[in-house]
Amino acid sequence: MFPNANNIETSFRHIRLFTMIVIVGSLSLCGLVTWLSYRSMARMQDRIYILASGKALEAVAQNRKDNIPVEARDHIRSFHQYFFTLDPDEKVIDANLTRALYLADASAKRQYDDLKETGYYAGIIAGNISQEISIDSIRLDMTGYPYYFRCYATEKIIRPSSLVTRDLLTEGWLRNTSRSDNNPHGFLIERWTTLDNRDLKVEAR
């Protein structure tokens, strides 16, 4: 009788140990599957698919802080291109300057008002003058907030009889603001000033 009882107890112990191993193994497997699924979902959420011309293109989503210098430089570039790209057409001038003034504070509006008062825009229209800008470089200081910048550019003023090339140097500060259709980068240029705008050369046409 006693050997049979010992055998039953030993078998029960083995079954209990085996059951515990199966349960622990199942729980570990479930935990691993859950973690892998979560990681996979997190990776999928960082991907955006854009449909263009019938093709699905993959884009990777990133935190804004990773792209702040890139977005800030593009904001500065866009503002200067809108503000300084002019043609002898009142509607083109108004459209460009309206876009530019959405990207900056009252300091840009003051410069616009000063130029308008002196008849600068009227002179462009009357003289059939076009003005183009080429951004050479943008120096951005990200160590402080608001972010300080200097923009180095070249202006070309195309008159019927001459081509004037000017050096343009401006500075200002960038602060964060809400994104919108008129301000997609979510920055606002503050205390914007022109430091240099002298003629480099004049060529006859």
Distances (CA, A) of 17 to 7, 12, 20, 28, 35: 15, 9, 5, 16, 27
Is the per-residue pLDDT at 4 higher than 60? Answer: no
Tell whether domain 64-204 is in CATH 3.10.450.230. Answer: yes
Calculate the average pLDDT of the chain.
86
Q: For the chain, what are the domain ranges?
A: 2-58, 64-204
Stretch 180-198: mean pLDDT, rounded?
93
Helix (H) or strand (E) holding 155: strand 147-158
pTM: 0.70
Most distant CA atoms of the chain, gap in Å: 122
Is the per-residue pLDDT at 180 higher than 60? Answer: yes
3 — pLDDT class (breaks 50, 70, 90): low
Question: What's residue 54's pLDDT?
Answer: 59
Give the residue, 116 or 26, on which the prediction is more confident.
116
Give the residue, 3 or 19, on which the prediction is more confident.
19
